[in-house]
């Protein structure tokens, strides 16, 4: 007999306040809790001194504001790319599609040309977009705030392009996954 939703809540999904663990920095528990959060993956890219520059981020949050349209992402303070990338007047965010796991790995790799063989488009003000992504956001930096070992970067979105029938690449528990509709939906 298959388990009902309430059976599962009292079993494998049950939480217990008395078993909560301290959120120590770098602890396995914090990593596990954060890794349970599924995230879309974005390529944050621009032309800087004529060179395509970029990194991958799964910390992107959209709809931070709708008027004006704003999104944000969080970048490690030890990033070598961000201090260069942030000089661009416009920065492109391409939300990757479900078949772009290899693109994600390439654009986050160190010690190689991240853009080798990648088809991109560059806006007039320097935002760089990855082809076959599900959406493109043409952004400028509106605010930067410190957050522990990261900086939170808030972007103003100036222009968008959407491929509505395409599905996103999902990063969850350190693996790439694809979305599936539920029967309830």
Ligand X SMILES: Cc1cc2nc3c(=O)[nH]c(=O)nc-3n(C[C@H](O)[C@H](O)[C@H](O)COP(=O)(O)O)c2cc1C
Pick the closer one to ligand X by CB: 10 or 173: 173
Site for ligand X in 31-50 (CB under 6 A): 41
| One of 55, 71, 103, 134 touching ligand X (CB under 6 A) | 55
Q: At its nearest, how many Å lie between ligand X and the CB of residue 151?
A: 9
Pick the closer one to ligand X by CB: 58 or 94: 58
For residue 119, the tally of other CB atoms under 10 A from its CB is 10
If one asks whether residue 171 binds ligand X (CB under 6 A), the answer comes out as: yes
- Options 12-20, 72-80, 89-97, 120-128: segment touching ligand X (CB under 6 A): 72-80
Answer whether 87's CB lies under 8 Å from 162's CB. Answer: no
d(CA 60, CA 48): 22
Structure tokens at 147: 């957050």
Each residue 78-107 as x (binds ligand X by CB under 6 A) or -, in order, gives -xxxx---------------------x---
If one asks whether residue 108 binds ligand X (CB under 6 A), the answer comes out as: yes
- Options 19-27, 30-38, 75-83, 121-129: segment touching ligand X (CB under 6 A): 75-83
| One of 46, 48, 75, 96 touching ligand X (CB under 6 A) | 75
Answer whether 106's CB lies under 8 Å from 97's CB. Answer: no
Answer whether 129's CB lies under 8 Å from 139's CB. Answer: no
Pick the closer one to ligand X by CB: 3 or 178: 178
Answer whether 79's CB lies under 8 Å from 30's CB. Answer: no
Ramachandran angles phi, psi of 103, nearest 5°: -65, -40
d(CA 149, CA 134): 30
If one asks whether residue 153 binds ligand X (CB under 6 A), the answer comes out as: no
d(CA 115, CA 121): 12
| One of 56, 62, 88, 118 touching ligand X (CB under 6 A) | 56
The separation between CA 56 and the C-alpha centre of its own chain, rounded to angstroms, equals 7
Residue ranges binding ligand X (CB under 6 A)? 41, 55-59, 73-76, 79-82, 104, 108, 110, 171
């Amino acid at each position: 007999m298959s388990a009902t939703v309430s059976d599962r809540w009292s079993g494998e999904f049950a939480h217990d306040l008395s078993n909560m663990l301290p959120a120590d920095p770098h602890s396995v528990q914090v990593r596990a809790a954060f890794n349970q959060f599924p995230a879309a993956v974005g390529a944050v890219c621009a032309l800087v001194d004529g060179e395509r520059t970029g990194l991958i981020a799964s910390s992107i949050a959209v709809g931070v504001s709708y008027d004006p349209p704003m999104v944000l992402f969080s970048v490690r303070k030890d990033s070598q790319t961000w201090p260069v990338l942030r000089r661009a007047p416009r920065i492109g965010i391409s939300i990757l599609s479900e078949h772009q796991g290899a693109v994600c790995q390439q654009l986050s790799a160190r010690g190689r040309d991240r853009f080798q063989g990648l088809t991109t488009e560059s806006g007039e003000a320097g935002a760089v977009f990855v082809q076959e992504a599900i959406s493109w956001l043409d952004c400028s930096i509106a605010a930067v705030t410190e957050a522990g070992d990261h900086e939170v970067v808030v972007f103003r979105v100036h222009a968008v392009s959407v491929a509505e029938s395409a599905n996103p690449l999902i990063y969850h528990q350190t693996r790439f996954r694809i979305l599936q509709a539920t029967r309830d939906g």
